[in-house]
Structure 1
Amino acid sequence: MHRPDGPSTASSPDPGRRRAVSAFAQADAAFLREAWAKLGGGREISPLRGPESGLVMVRGRAGGGGAPFNLGEASVTRASVRLDGGTVGHSMVLGRDGTRATYAAAFDALWQVEAERDDVESHVVTVVETALADADRERRSETEATRVDFFTMMRGED
């Protein structure tokens, strides 16, 4: 039942799908192509829209909570596909890689197929999330190694 004072549950995005779509969008095109060869089961990917490249405005906030400001533009590529079973998937990836956008959309569609979800989660989403976490940990470690601690010593009155 839709309540006029709050959002409908039908329009609330599935957090599991949101997480999966984020992983697909950040994955490497070669990884997605190889994973599709293993998990796609010979399914045909039919393009509905795109892939098409364009620009989006990136906005930021000073300190994470200040007033929003326009940071600049970023290239993105979006795609919408339909698998031969009728499931539709969508993607938007940073950059101008149409192949990556197409496979990301295909995995979004495959993730929506209940019988395929566990395989997609374990062989694609988890692998991508682990690789991203490892890269982030390595980047933080390299940054920490170059950190300089500044301090001020007060001298007594001479």
Structure 2
Amino acid sequence: MSLLAKAPPARLATLLDGLEPLPDHQFLRAPEIGAVMVRGRMGGSGAPFNLGEMTVTRCTLRLTSGEVGHAWVQGRDKGHARRAALVDALMQGPRADEIRMHVLDPLASEAEARRTARAAKAAATKVEFFTMARGED
């Protein structure tokens, strides 16, 4: 789900367009926009505190074959939430290998490439600090 939620909406749409025909589905919860409270911790282990609210869109749908898919995505893109829920439902059926190969694997490799590029950019700004011994023992 993380991979689908973080995927660029246009890229997910493009990858799904190549998988026609997509199955019919009905909404159990039509895409709706809301907000969630984001919490944080100081140093990763301190007491939790409310950082602020984030806009999310959620969707739940059922394929005609019975599989149910859920999605929560950041932002206000109802189409992105519907497509992510559709992929979630399709991964539970006989087309799971096809979906993994044509949708999830490309998204994972693109996300890794973005992560690597971001890490390389950050590494270029790394500063090495060192202490020189002054010899005043």
TM-score, L = length of structure 1: 0.78
Tell me how far 1:38 sits from its aligned partner.
2.4
Asked if 1:64 is matched to 2:44, the reply is yes
Cross-structure match for 1:13: none
Cross-structure match for 2:25: 45
- Alignment-mate amino acid for residue 99 of structure 1: G
Within the candidate set 86, 102, 118, 1:123 is matched to 102
Aligned length: 136
Cross-structure match for 2:128: 149
- Stretches of structure 1 that go unaligned for 5 or more consecutive residues are 1-20
- Alignment-mate amino acid for residue 96 of structure 2: R
- After superposition, residues 6-155 of structure 1 pair within 5 angstroms as 21-113=1-93, 115-155=94-134
Q: C-alpha distance in 2, partners of 1:65/1:155?
A: 38
Higher deviation after alignment, 47-56 or 96-105: 47-56
SS in 2 for 1:85: coil
Q: C-alpha distance in 2, partners of 1:143/1:156?
A: 35
Q: C-alpha distance in 2, partners of 1:85/1:37?
A: 20
Q: C-alpha distance in 2, partners of 1:148/1:34?
A: 41
Cross-structure match for 1:11: none
- Alignment-mate amino acid for residue 39 of structure 1: L
* 2:61/2:85 contact within 8 Å kept: yes
How much is the aligned-residue C-alpha RMSD, in angstroms?
A: 1.7
Q: C-alpha distance in 2, partners of 1:84/1:31?
A: 25
TM-score, L = length of structure 2: 0.88
Alignment deviations for residues 44-90 of structure 1 (CA, whole Å, 9 cap, x no partner): 23222121111111111222222212111111110111223232211
